[in-house]
Amino acid sequence: MKRIMVIGAGQAGASLVAKLRALGHGGPITLVGEEPVPPYQRPPLSKAYLLGEMARERLFLRPESFYAEQGITLRLGAPVTAIDRAAQARASGGGGAGL
Ligand SMILES: Cc1cc2nc3c(=O)[nH]c(=O)nc-3n(C[C@H](O)[C@H](O)[C@H](O)COP(=O)(O)OP(=O)(O)OC[C@H]3O[C@@H](n4cnc5c(N)ncnc54)[C@H](O)[C@@H]3O)c2cc1C
How much is the pLDDT for 98? 54
CA distance 62 to 71: 14
The number of C-alpha atoms within 13 Å of 10 and in the hemisphere containing its C-beta is 5
> Mutation test of ligand 1: which of 42, 61, 81 has the most ligand atoms closer than 8 Å to its C-beta?
42
Residue with CA at minimum distance from ligand 1 atom 18:
42
Q: What is the pLDDT of residues 21-55, one digit of tens each?
A: 999 999 999 999 999 999 999 999 999 999 999 99
CA distance 6 to 58: 23
Cα 41 to chain centroid, rounded: 12
Residues having CB closer than 6 A to ligand 1 are 7-13, 32-35, 42-43, 45-46, 79-80
